[in-house]
């Protein structure tokens, strides 16, 4: 099998409300969708979502980088995934978010060729209950409480609060949310690197009584030593997110015993191939993992959910971005059945695609 052509699209989807975290604000999903075509009629779909403040890529940089990456693998065998990913890495280091779209499309083709849904191709089973949390943007305590209450009433089984503002305002946010939603739902928090070490420990100690599952990325991502200091002094479990992009980062935080969990995102790892390596390292260290997303549509989230069904080490699911979108152009793929629950399809490959008439409205190029 050979790759004959690659189409690159700027996939723009408005959000129902701006998504706000401690280091950025996003009005819409400005994603990239790629279609890898082959000489055997298989087409692979891949999507990525660059949150510039987190990954250092934008839709514009990715669009350009995708052209170069496409030229490197055109004419080659898409089923040799390791070799193709090595081609991409050799051509341009970094740029993990756009690479994740290529990785996803290659896995789509390979599992279609095998005649299996991707989770089965990866050795998984479709028997797990996959319940996502729902994320509340950082805002005033009143607005965050109102959003959390709305999500509770919509049936989500757990709620994630974006924090990272500082002390005491982050404590006020959580206090307000708990006073409105009560204590029957798990709460997770995410500082997105917004605290320094002392503030992190102060906030986390003050939050102990509010029954928090875990806290993502308390301090700047480069500072694993600070992450360990926070973890050693926190009554709340610490999850590494931005500090772990790939398996090498995972090895470093594991070796330092700097966290209790690792959050895997395809946009950070460069896709499924490296995500599997992060999971292996986590398992070897006795750590459980979460999967998370940026602002992917249901197509990117479908790939992520196949990964969940393939690896039991993933125990927390933050698979909520498409629920924030004002429209859903994806056909097939995971189905939202309410109360936070996603159901995976049994269609070969990802089982998800975006119809051409929707893509025809987007800026595109062909390599």
Tokens 């005649």, located at residue: 115
Annotated active-site residue 5? The verdict is no
Annotated active-site residue 190? The verdict is yes
Q: Which helix (H) or strand (E) holds 13?
A: strand 3-21
Q: CA angle, corner 348, sides to 292 and 36, nearest 5?
A: 75
Q: Name the maximum alpha-carbon separation found in the chain.
A: 60
Q: Where are the beta strands (DSSP E) in the chain?
A: 3-21, 24-38, 43-48, 130-131, 134-136, 159-162, 187-190, 212-216, 237-240, 261-264, 288-291, 314-317, 331-332, 335-338, 341-343, 352-353, 364-366
Annotated active-site residue 232? The verdict is no
Q: How far is the CB of 241 from Mg ion (least distance, A)?
A: 4
How far apart CA 129 and CA 7 sit, in angstroms, is 35
Q: x-or-dash pattern for Mg ion, window 186-205, by CB under 5 A?
A: ----x---------------
Contact status: 133 vs Mg ion (CB under 5 A):
no
Annotated active-site residue 241? The verdict is yes
Q: Check 99, 202, 231, 265 and give the catalytic one.
A: 265
Annotated active-site residue 68? The verdict is no
Nearer to Mg ion among residue 103 and residue 241 (C-beta)? 241
Q: x-or-dash pattern for Mg ion, window 220-259, by CB under 5 A?
A: ---------------------x------------------
Q: Check 47, 216, 296, 318 and give the catalytic one.
A: 216
Query: Stretches 78-86, 136-144, 213-221, 354-362: which one binds Mg ion (CB under 5 A)?
Result: 213-221
Contact status: 318 vs Mg ion (CB under 5 A):
no
Q: Which residues, 6+ apart, have CB-to-CB distance to 226 below 8 Å?
A: 196, 197, 200, 219, 220
Q: How far is the CB of 190 from Mg ion (least distance, A)?
A: 4
Q: How far is the CB of 25 from Mg ion (least distance, A)?
A: 15
How far apart CA 297 and CA 33 sit, in angstroms, is 10
Residue nearest to Mg ion (CB): 241
- Within its chain, how far is the Cα of 361 from the centroid? 26
Contacts with Mg ion: how many residues (CB under 5 A)?
A: 3
Selected binder of Mg ion within 57, 62, 103, 216 (CB under 5 A): 216
How far apart CA 34 and CA 303 sit, in angstroms, is 14
Q: How far is the CB of 91 from Mg ion (least distance, A)?
A: 29
Q: How far is the CB of 290 from Mg ion (least distance, A)?
A: 9
How far apart CA 22 and CA 162 sit, in angstroms, is 7
Nearer to Mg ion among residue 190 and residue 213 (C-beta)? 190
Nearer to Mg ion among residue 108 and residue 296 (C-beta)? 296
Please give the residue ranges that form the binding site for Mg ion (CB under 5 A).
190, 216, 241
Q: Which residues are catalytic?
A: 162, 190, 216, 241, 265
């Amino acid at each position: 099998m050979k790759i004959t052509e690659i189409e690159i699209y700027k996939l723009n989807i408005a959000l129902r409300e701006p998504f706000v975290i401690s280091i950025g604000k996003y009005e819409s999903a400005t994603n990239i969708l790629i279609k890898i075509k082959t000489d055997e009629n298989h087409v692979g779909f891949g999507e990525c979502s660059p949150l510039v403040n987190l990954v250092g890529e934008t839709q514009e940089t990715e669009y350009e980088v995708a052209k170069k990456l496409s030229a490197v693998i055109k004419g080659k065998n898409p089923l040799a995934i390791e070799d193709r990913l090595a081609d991409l890495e050799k051509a341009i280091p970094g740029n993990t978010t756009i690479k994740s779209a290529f990785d996803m499309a290659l896995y789509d083709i390979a599992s279609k060729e095998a005649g299996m849904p991707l989770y089965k191709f990866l050795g998984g089973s479709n028997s797990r209950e996959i319940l996502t949390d729902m994320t509340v943007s950082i805002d005033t305590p009143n607005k965050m409480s109102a959003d959390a209450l709305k999500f509770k009433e919509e049936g989500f089984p757990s709620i994630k609060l974006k924090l990272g503002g500082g002390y005491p305002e982050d404590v006020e946010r959580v206090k307000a949310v708990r006073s409105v939603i009560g204590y029957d739902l798990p709460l997770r928090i995410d500082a997105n690197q917004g605290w320094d070490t002392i503030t992190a420990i102060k906030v986390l100690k003050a939050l102990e009584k509010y029954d928090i599952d875990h806290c993502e990325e308390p301090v700047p991502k480069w500072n694993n030593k600070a992450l360990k200091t926070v973890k050693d002094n926190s009554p709340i479990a610490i999850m590494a997110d931005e500090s772990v992009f790939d398996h090498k980062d995972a090895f470093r935080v594991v070796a330092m015993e700097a966290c209790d969990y690792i959050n895997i995102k395809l946009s950070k790892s460069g896709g499924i191939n490296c995500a599997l390596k992060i999971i292996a390292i986590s398992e070897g260290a006795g750590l459980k993992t979460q999967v998370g997303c940026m602002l992917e549509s249901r197509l990117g989230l479908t790939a992520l959910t196949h990964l969940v069904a393939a690896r039991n080490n993933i125990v927390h699911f933050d698979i909520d971005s498409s629920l924030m979108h004002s429209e859903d152009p994806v056909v097939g793929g995971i189905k939202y059945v309410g109360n936070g629950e996603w159901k995976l399809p049994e269609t070969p490959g990802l089982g998800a695609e975006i119809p051409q008439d929707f893509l025809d409205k987007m800026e595109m190029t062909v390599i």
